[in-house]
Structure 1
Amino acid sequence: MKLQNNVINAENLNENNTLSVVQDKLKPGETIILDVGYNYFHQADKLYEMLINEGYYVRKTFVNGRNQLLVAQKDEKHHMY
């Protein structure tokens, strides 16, 4: 299965905006990378909890000094490892 990676700058998005962006952009079998940035206000942790509660697969990563969240849909066919 080939995953297409979409990077979204989530540094300036609040929780509600982020959820609507993920719902609009994320298709089954794809992964979205939310680039949260430097996490000054623990935004990555808040978005992580919110997306987990909404039923998404979420993994926290730290790349080049920036916090990122990898987000994929949970379903029977697609899994994030």
Structure 2
Amino acid sequence: MDLQNNLVNSEMLNEDNAIDIVESKLKPGETLVLDIGNNYFNQTDKLYDLLLTSGYYVRKSFVNGRNQLLVSFKDNKHQMY
């Protein structure tokens, strides 16, 4: 799997289009990385809550000074550790 295909620059992503982006990019068994950046206006927390309540596994990460969310499907077959 090529990680570049699963990394989405999400600095301009908001609650209105977050679910659409995740649904269009995420495939079963894969993990999508939403690169938030500087977390202005607590964007990371809002997106985290939205995706979690929409039935996804979501983990917060901080890499190279940038906030990221790791997103995958929540089901019995695929789990994120």
With structure 1 as the length reference, what TM-score do the two structures score? 0.92
Kindly state the Cα deviation for residue 4 of structure 1 after the two structures are TM-superposed.
5.4
2:24 — aligned with what?
24
Measure, in 2, the Cα distance between the counterparts of 1:4 and 1:79: 19
- Helix, strand or coil at the partner of 1:23: helix
2:78 — aligned with what?
78
Check conservation: 1:4, 1:31, Cα contact below 8 A.
no
Measure, in 2, the Cα distance between the counterparts of 1:4 and 1:49: 27
Measure, in 1, the Cα distance between the counterparts of 2:51 and 2:37: 17
- Helix, strand or coil at the partner of 1:41: helix
Query: How many pairs align?
Result: 79
Measure, in 1, the Cα distance between the counterparts of 2:11 and 2:17: 11
2:59 — aligned with what?
59
Q: Which moved more, 1:10-19 or 1:25-34?
A: 10-19
2:8 — aligned with what?
8
Q: Gapped runs of 5+ residues in structure 2?
A: none
Seq. identity, %: 62
1:34 — aligned with what?
34
Question: Which amino acid in the other structure matches residue 14 of structure 1?
Answer: N
With structure 2 as the length reference, what TM-score do the two structures score? 0.92
